[in-house]
């Protein structure tokens, strides 16, 4: 069954909905390459931890915000995006300025969980998981086998970021699945005002970086791309998520 696509505009911001008030993606019309929603900015917190990714897998397209940001600011990156609903791809093309560049963007219409579970040796430096249906359900994208397959699909020093909903009954169970799949190398960021929470997981060499060094990296990232992750770091510090002000992953 095709999901109902609803496009709305208010105060210069265009939003994507699946037949409800739940926002599935957003774009400020005057700044289409920017990340309008807080959680989309935090999905890229991994950029503060390691070298820029060269191969990225995105599960769920939405309004193409993450794809557009990476495409614009990281010209060497190759992006694979898997979206289960063709109507979402059509909406992203028509209303959200989805780039058409088959050399750098590999667009797959299909099930994101099946794509990862059936992956035949392709490796990604960064995997971004942000897939929900019209009822805000993630289905197979929140299972242990899926996260284990994501880990297997990461390069030697890969990072996975998952968008989760803290108000969901499954939040603790699902975040525990991520931790189990990555041998406890996972960190749950404090949830923002939207009720979204980022879970970050890593493979490869250990990460141990002070919040002061993260702030320096965030300032450099802001200067280079306009992406401001300083509020995220402030929340991490206030929530005492990082022991002795060091992010360990």
Please tell me the distance from the alpha carbon of residue 115 to that of residue 95, in angstroms, as a whole number: 26
Total domains present in the chain: 1
DSSP secondary structure letters along 166-207: TTSTTHHHHHHHHHHHTTT-EEEPPP-TTSEEEEEEE-SS--
Q: Is residue 1 part of a domain?
A: no
Cβ atoms of 83 and 107 closer than 8 Å: yes
Identify the pLDDT of residue 242. Answer: 80
240 within some domain: yes
What average pLDDT score do residues 62-66 get? 94
User: What are φ and ψ of residue 3, in 5° steps?
Assistant: -75, 150
pLDDT at 196: 75
Q: Residue 222 phi/psi, 5° resolution?
A: -60, -40
Range of the domain at 183: 6-248
Write the CATH number for 73: 3.40.50.150
- In this structure, are residues 198 and 42 in contact, taking their beta carbons and an 8 Å threshold? yes
Closest CA to 68 of 110, 37, 46: 37
Cα 226–chain centre separation:
17
Residue 241 confidence (pLDDT) above 80: no
Tell whether 90 is covered by a domain. Answer: yes
Looking at residue 131, what is its pLDDT? 67
> Does the residue 34 lie in any domain?
yes
For the stretch 129-150, pLDDT in tens is 986 554 545 567 788 999 999 9
Both tokens assigned to 54: 């060269």
Per-residue pLDDT, averaged over 203-214, amounts to 94
Q: Is the pLDDT of residue 36 over 60?
A: yes
Average the pLDDT over 10-23 and give the result. Answer: 86
Percent of the chain with pLDDT over 90: 68
pLDDT at 134: 45
Spatial distance between the Cα atoms of 135 and 143, rounded to a whole number of angstroms = 18
Q: What is the pTM of this model?
A: 0.93
Model pLDDT, residue 80 = 97
**Residue 119 pLDDT > 80, yes or no?**
yes
Identify which of 86, 67, 91 has the alpha carbon closest to the alpha carbon of residue 78: 67
What mean pLDDT do residues 191-215 have? 87
Would you say residue 71 lies in a domain?
yes
Whether 69 is covered by a domain: the verdict is: yes
Give all strands (DSSP E) within 89-238, no chain letters.
105-109, 124-129, 154-165, 186-188, 196-202, 208-210
User: Tens of pLDDT along 84-106?
Assistant: 999 999 999 999 999 999 999 99
Q: Can you give the C-alpha Rg of the chain in angstroms?
A: 17
Contact between 88 and 35 under an 8 Å Cβ cutoff? The reply is no
Query: In this structure, is residue 175 part of a structural domain?
Result: yes
Is the pLDDT confidence value at 184 over 80? yes
Mean pLDDT in residue range 105-120: 93
Q: How far apart are CA 163 and CA 168, in angstroms?
A: 12
């Amino acid at each position: 069954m095709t999901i109902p696509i609803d496009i709305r505009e208010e105060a210069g911001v265009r939003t994507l909905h699946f037949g409800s008030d739940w926002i599935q993606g957003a774009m400020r019309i005057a700044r289409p390459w920017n990340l309008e929603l807080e959680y989309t900015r935090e999905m890229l917190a991994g950029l503060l931890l390691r070298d820029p990714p060269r191969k990225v897998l995105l599960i769920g397209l939405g309004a193409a915000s993450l794809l557009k940001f990476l495409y614009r600011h990281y010209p060497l990156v190759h992006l694979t995006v898997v979206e289960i609903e063709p109507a979402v791809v059509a909406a992203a093309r028509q209303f959200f300025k989805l780039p058409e560049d088959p050399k750098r963007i590999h667009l797959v219409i299909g099930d994101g969980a099946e794509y990862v579970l059936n992956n035949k040796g392709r490796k990604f430096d960064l995997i971004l998981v942000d897939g929900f249906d019209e009822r805000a359900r993630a289905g197979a994208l929140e299972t242990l086998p899926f996260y284990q397959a994501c880990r297997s699909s990461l390069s030697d020093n890969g990072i996975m970021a998952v968008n989760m909903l803290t108000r969901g009954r499954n939040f603790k169970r699902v975040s525990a699945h991520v931790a189990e799949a990555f041998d406890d190398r996972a960190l749950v960021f404090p949830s923002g005002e939207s009720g979204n929470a980022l879970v970050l997981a890593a493979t490869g060499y250990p990460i141990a970086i002070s919040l002061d060094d993260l702030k320096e990296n965030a300032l450099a990232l802001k200067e280079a791309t306009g992406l401001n992750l300083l509020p995220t770091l402030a929340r991490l510090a206030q929530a005492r998520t990082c022991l002795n002000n060091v992010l360990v992953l």
